[in-house]
């Protein structure tokens, strides 16, 4: 692992690190904010998964999360959204290929050799940061935006007992029924739609749910709301009687202005679970 940068930030440290990823078969970069409390011992962890076209950097510089995390004594991890490098397959469209990993393990050509973002976020990166930083990996929570909200919800439900809480900003909630999902799941996982279900938050909610609190925010003026399908997740939550707070925020869109506005709510929500 190589240190790309470390900057003083809200009394703690915002670092950027690169390492050789076995899961993705390339070098991967991630951001990690450590609050001041990490100097005295392990601190709880909040993962932030970013959306389409993003790298580790977008949320790290735009979401305004570090100040709220510093108040709560929580570390923030900002993974990348896909494999990188000349060997990783790509597509001309912004919503497939680099920057659009969708947090799945691809099984289809040409994606399978590198696009293994589920394994990277679920197994490889947690092991790496747990070994090298003062993190309490028994206390983890996860959040994300758009494609990252999809990843946060599906990872939380797909890894029972891993996360104490999950939240999402404008998540892609029902990708098997959306153009933001069917295209990518078909490309990465193939035509057998039975393999898609574990990567659909609404279907997973109906099937297994989540043993903990959920918070989701979506803007009523989100330009992609028809692709996000928040109503499908709401229906599944209601049918399952899942503990969840699902909010439609009047006038907000899909941007990081929206994310940063409600970041304090989300960090506080996770802090309550992480320190319970």
Q: How far apart are the first and last CA of the chain?
A: 33
Task: Please confirm whether the linkage preceding 110 is cis (ω < 30° from 0).
Answer: yes
Going by pLDDT thresholds of 50, 70 and 90, the confidence category of residue 187 is very high
pLDDT above 90 as % of the chain: 100
For 119-130, write each residue's pLDDT tens digit.
999 999 999 999
Instruction: Give the up-direction half-sphere exposure of residue 95: CA atoms within 13 A in the CB hemisphere.
Output: 14
The set of residues, in sequence order, having a beta carbon less than 8 Å from that of 23 and lying 6+ positions away, is 116, 119, 120, 123, 124
CATH number at residue 267: 3.40.50.1820
Going by pLDDT thresholds of 50, 70 and 90, the confidence category of residue 8 is very high
Dihedral angle computed from the Cα positions of residues 10, 59, 87 and 183, in that order, rounded to the nearest 10 degrees? 160
Strands 26-34 and 75-78: antiparallel
Structure-token match 């993705």, residue found: 24
Q: What is the pLDDT of residue 80?
A: 98
The set of residues, in sequence order, having a beta carbon less than 8 Å from that of 30 and lying 6+ positions away, is 16, 17, 56, 77, 78, 79, 80, 125, 129
Say whether 250 sits in a helix, a strand or coil. coil
In the structure encoding, which two tokens stand for residue 215, read together? 């918070």
For 244-261, write each residue's pLDDT tens digit.
999 999 999 999 999 999
**CA 152 – CA 205 distance, rounded (Å):** 13
Q: Is 250 left (phi over 0), alpha (psi -120 to 50) or beta?
A: beta
| Range(s) of the domain holding residue 222 | 2-274
> Looking at the DSSP assignment, which residues form a beta bridge with residue 43?
135
Going by pLDDT thresholds of 50, 70 and 90, the confidence category of residue 165 is very high
The total number of structural domains in the chain stands at 1
In the structure encoding, which two tokens stand for residue 134, read together? 């003062």
Q: What is the pLDDT of residue 267?
A: 98
Q: What is the pLDDT of residue 184?
A: 98
Going by pLDDT thresholds of 50, 70 and 90, the confidence category of residue 174 is very high
- The stretch 229-256 carries a mean pLDDT of 98
pLDDT above 70 as % of the chain: 100
CB atoms within 10 A of CB 73: 17
Residues marked as catalytic: 146, 222, 254
- The stretch 186-204 carries a mean pLDDT of 98
């Amino acid at each position: 692992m190589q240190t790309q940068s470390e900057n003083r930030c809200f009394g703690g440290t915002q670092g950027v690190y690169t390492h050789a990823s076995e899961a993705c078969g390339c070098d991967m970069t991630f951001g990690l904010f450590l609050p001041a409390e990490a100097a005295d011992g392990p601190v709880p962890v909040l993962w932030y998964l970013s959306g389409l076209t993003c790298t580790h950097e977008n949320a790290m510089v735009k979401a305004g999360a570090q100040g709220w995390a510093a108040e709560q004594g929580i570390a923030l991890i900002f993974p990348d959204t896909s494999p990188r490098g000349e060997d990783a397959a790509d597509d001309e469209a912004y919503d497939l290929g680099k920057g659009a990993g969708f947090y799945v393990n691809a099984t289809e050509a040409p994606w399978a050799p590198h696009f293994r973002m589920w394994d990277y976020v679920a197994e490889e990166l947690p092991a790496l940061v747990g070994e090298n930083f003062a993190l309490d990996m028994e206390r983890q929570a996860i959040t994300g935006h758009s494609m990252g909200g999809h990843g946060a919800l599906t990872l939380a439900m797909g890894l029972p007992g891993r996360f104490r809480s999950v939240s999402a900003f404008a998540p892609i909630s029902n990708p098997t029924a959306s153009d933001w999902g069917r295209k990518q799941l078909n490309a990465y996982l193939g035509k057998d739609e039975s393999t898609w279900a574990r990567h659909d938050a609404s279907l997973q909610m109906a099937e297994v749910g989540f043993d903990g609190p959920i918070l989701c925010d979506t803007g009523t003026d989100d330009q992609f709301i028809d692709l996000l399908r928040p109503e499908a997740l709401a229906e599944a939550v209601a049918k399952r009687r899942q503990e969840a707070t699902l909010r439609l925020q009047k006038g907000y869109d899909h941007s990081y202005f929206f994310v940063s506005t409600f970041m304090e709510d989300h960090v506080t929500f996770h802090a309550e679970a992480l320190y319970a």
